[in-house]
Amino acid sequence: MQTTDSAGLENVQKKRSMPAIVPLLLAGLFMVTGICVLLVIGREKSRIIGQTITELDIQPLLNTESPITDETMRGKVVVLHFWGYWCPACIKELPEFVRIQKSYAADPEVLFASISCSQRKAETVDALKFYTNKFMQSVDGNGLPVYYDPVEFSRTRLSQLLTAGGFSYPTTLVIGGAGEVVDLWRAEVPPSALVKAIDKAKLANKKLASK
């Protein structure tokens, strides 16, 4: 027969063991959630790659006077990069992105569309230009062309494809010469992955042009 003292000691031991279990349960929950998110993003990415994207509204903001149109994109590898000077992940990513953009500056086959996005819809174009220019100077991006997305038309169109969680920053797409999505990231882009996608798209364009 279990005595009162032994029963009380057993209850105390159970209570002491509970806090140790909680972190393990939370860790398991986070792990399962992370796996689910990755599965959703993976399915979304495989669904979007190969789809054609046209008729975007990307207008000049800094160091260029020409918009990005279907005509300017045709036959080129286009890197669409949506970011914001107010976005922590974008701030972390931009220095490396600028370095890669500069490395392709003399390549006529590649077009970088660096698209600065407002945090607030009420922000004026002049304010967006001012803060974007200030930020680009801080990451050694002086002179690089920067664009913007008036009334969020382009982001709205892309959001119709990015069904999991809507639009997020940064978002980067590599578009092939026929307007098809070659690769997509909805977070910081690993530099090697971006370069690999660009070179892959360039090779596909050459094969298409030789037919």
Q: What is the DSSP string of 40-97?
A: HHHHHHHHHTT-B-----BEEEES----B-HHHHTTSEEEEEEE-TT-HHHHHHHHHH
Whose tokens are 């978002």? That residue is 171
Q: Tell me the two tokens of residue 92.
A: 């972390």
**Domain-wise residue ranges, the chain:** 1-48, 59-210
- pTM: predicted TM-score of the whole model, two decimal places: 0.78
One-letter amino acid identity for 32?
Answer: V
- Strand order from edge to edge, sheet including 171-175: 59-62, 146-148, 110-116, 77-83, 171-175, 181-185
Is the domain spanning 59-210 CATH 3.40.50.300? The answer is no
Q: What is the pLDDT along the chain (211 residues), one digit of tens a residue?
A: 444 455 555 555 555 554 556 555 555 554 544 333 333 445 567 778 989 998 999 999 999 999 999 999 999 999 999 999 999 999 999 999 999 999 999 999 999 999 999 988 778 999 999 999 999 999 999 999 999 999 999 999 888 887 666 789 999 999 999 999 999 999 999 999 999 999 999 999 988 777 7
